[in-house]
């Protein structure tokens, strides 16, 4: 496998793992929102359905590119579930802050990936572009809920960035420079 193929496999690995983590986040948020922010259960359920579909898209693209699931899947799952449950229990503002922080970080990485993939893997670039439309809808939804800044947002962004870096074995830094 050459460097380009390894980076493509890394993109799929991190995107699949990230969607797995997002599924866990939204499941945790929905569970807690039933107690703290009932009005968010329906929109969060729609977002969850998108994330489940996104995960399936990336998983379907993996075999042809000799990509395997991330070794951090358990971390994505447990961390996402705990983050979703904790922010859900904190209520509406924390749910929206978490969603905005994750989606803002993901959006930047998807943009970097699309840019790098142009001319290298058009099928994957197209899949990312299609998924990005819904991810931007999730971000707009969360940002419409109020300001999503502060220590909680910065912590979630930092943890998300770290997981992305680990899952790509540092390849996300290379993509950001392209």
Residue 13, domain member (yes or no): yes
Residue 7, domain member (yes or no): yes
Given a contact cutoff of 8 angstroms between Cβ atoms, the answer to whether 65 and 123 are in contact is no
The stretch 122-136 carries a mean pLDDT of 96
Residue 151, domain member (yes or no): yes
Q: Dihedral sign, CA of 114, 116, 119, 123?
A: negative
Residue 177, domain member (yes or no): no
Top mean pLDDT of 28-37, 105-114, 144-153, 156-165 is at 28-37
Residue 77, domain member (yes or no): yes
Q: Whole domain around residue 143: which residue ranges?
A: 3-171
pTM of the shown model: 0.92
Provide the pLDDT for residue 135. Answer: 93
Indicate the DSSP class of residue 150: S
For the domain that residue 80 is a member of, what is the CATH number? 1.20.1260
Residues 131-169: tens digit of each pLDDT: 999 999 999 999 987 766 789 999 999 988 888 877 776
C-alpha angle 38/150/25, rounded to 5°?
40
Instruction: Work out how many domains the chain is built from and give that number.
Output: 1
Mean pLDDT of the chain: 90
C-alpha angle 167/97/140, rounded to 5°?
90
Residue 176, domain member (yes or no): no
171 pLDDT higher than 80 = no
């Amino acid at each position: 496998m050459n460097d380009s193929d390894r980076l493509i496999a890394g993109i799929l690995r991190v995107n699949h793992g990230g969607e797995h983590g997002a599924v866990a986040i939204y499941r945790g948020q929905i569970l807690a929102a039933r107690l703290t922010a009932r009005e968010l259960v329906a929109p969060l359920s729609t977002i969850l359905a998108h994330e489940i579909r996104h995960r399936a898209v990336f998983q379907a693209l993996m075999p042809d590119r000799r990509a395997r699931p991330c070794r951090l899947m358990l971390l994505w799952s447990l961390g996402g579930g705990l983050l979703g449950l904790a922010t859900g229990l904190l209520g509406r503002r924390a749910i929206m802050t978490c969603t905005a922080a994750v989606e803002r970080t993901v959006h930047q990485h998807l943009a970097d990936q699309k840019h790098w993939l142009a001319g290298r893997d058009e099928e994957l670039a197209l899949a990312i572009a299609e998924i990005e439309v819904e991810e931007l809808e999730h971000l707009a939804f969360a940002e419409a809920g109020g300001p999503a800044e502060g220590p909680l947002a910065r912590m979630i962004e930092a943890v998300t960035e770290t997981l992305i870096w680990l899952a790509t074995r540092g390849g996300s830094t290379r993509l950001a420079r392209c």
